[in-house]
Amino acid sequence: MKIDRPGAFNDPDYYDALATLRRESPVFECLPKTWLITKYDHIRAISRDTENFSSARGVLVNDSARRPGASAPIGSILHMDPPEHADYRRIVSRDFTPRATGPMEAQIQAIADRVFDGLPRGEEIDFVEHVASPVPVTVIAELLGVSGADLADFRKWSDAMIEVSDNPSPEIVSLVIEFARFLEQEIAARTAMPRDDMISVLTQSTLTPQEIQMFCITLLVAGNETTRHLLSGGAEALAAHPDQRAHLVANPAAMPGAVEELLRWVTPIQAMGRTATTDVEVGAETLKSGDFAVLMYASGNRDEDAYGPSASELDVMRTTSPANVTFGFGEHNCLGAPLARMEGRIVFEQLLRRFPDYELV
């Protein structure tokens, strides 16, 4: 399995290959000094092990921080290790607890209402373009305090931030620079005159303007991409399993559990990585200091030893299963997980209430 090429995670035999690795070689050196970690327990163990594994040297296969002589972006929470990570997370996490995100439910409902109300009736639509993309981008924009006038640009910048790693064309890079300058202006404005939004809260913390800017970029990219893939993959999955969709139409109270199952089965973020800082044993293999461990969340979420013989099947009525690893685990468990779950629940509830018999074309 060559994970360092574009489209690797879209191969038709992708999940079959992961299942084979889980059975035959759960810790597999796919490239020199790069290991695929495919078992649920190994993924959780490495995620917890900050003594032997680091995020500072990159968390993605194509992470710029992994290049020789490179360093992690300043202020990137994704690339921090303890104790710096804990200090930083303490500052930025207050707006992402379940208690803090609870009051946002009405706001997200209103956003979803506007999006669904604007859909043409009796016509084919691109679900990603019309629903899965605008909902999370709008939620993040309102969280940061971006005005409606800037929302169209915000969506354009969001797409550019996601695309730039695979397509650093002059046009895309120009949009990334434009977004960075926009954030600089917003941070300066909130520093001078705080408002009731997240940027204002962060300007009153000990974070530097550069650190605030990096956090906003991380929030936009991670929050948008994760939720967008959940919504699009979840809508596709429910269309492919009409009996389970019918169950949710008839039993809307089952939606929170269904969202957890969709998070497991879709796995919006397929993998993240850690670098070994010492020689360390994982399963039957020894990773050397400097080796990169690719934590295959998509595989851990379908591990038969964790989820039983039906692990590869979607079951929105699944009741007894361990927590999925979709949002990571341990120190780097995703801050925005409560928000993503809420967005997923609200959008799928609206989708099935308004279009209970939708079809893919």
Is the residue at 57 inside a domain?
yes
Rounded CA gap, 340 and 140, in Å? Answer: 11
Is the residue at 360 inside a domain?
no
Number of domains in the chain: 1
* Helix/strand/coil for 36: strand
Is the residue at 2 inside a domain?
no
Domain of 177 in residue numbering reads as: 8-354
Helix (H) or strand (E) holding 273: strand 271-276
Is the residue at 32 inside a domain?
yes
Is the residue at 3 inside a domain?
no
What pLDDT is stored for residue 95 in this prediction? 74
Backbone angles phi, psi at 170, to 5 degrees: -55, -40
Query: How would you write the pLDDT of the chain (361 residues) with one tens digit per residue?
Result: 555 544 555 667 899 999 999 999 999 999 999 999 999 999 999 999 999 999 988 777 665 545 555 555 666 778 788 888 888 888 888 777 777 777 889 999 999 999 999 998 888 999 999 999 999 999 999 889 887 767 888 888 888 888 887 788 999 999 999 999 999 999 999 999 999 889 999 999 999 999 999 999 988 888 888 999 999 999 999 999 999 999 999 999 999 999 999 999 999 999 999 999 999 999 999 999 999 999 999 999 999 999 999 999 999 999 878 899 999 988 888 888 999 999 999 999 999 999 999 999 8
**Structure tokens of 345?**
């629940």
What pLDDT is stored for residue 72 in this prediction? 55
- What CATH number has the domain bearing residue 68? 1.10.630.10
Rounded CA gap, 93 and 332, in Å? Answer: 12
**For residues 14 and 3, is the Cβ–Cβ distance under 8 A?**
no
Is the residue at 215 inside a domain?
yes
**The residue to which tokens 């917003």 are assigned:** 186
Is the residue at 1 inside a domain?
no
**Which residues have a Cβ under 8 Å from the Cβ of 333 and sit 6 or more positions away?**
327
Is the residue at 359 inside a domain?
no
What pLDDT is stored for residue 254 in this prediction? 97
Residue 240 identity: A
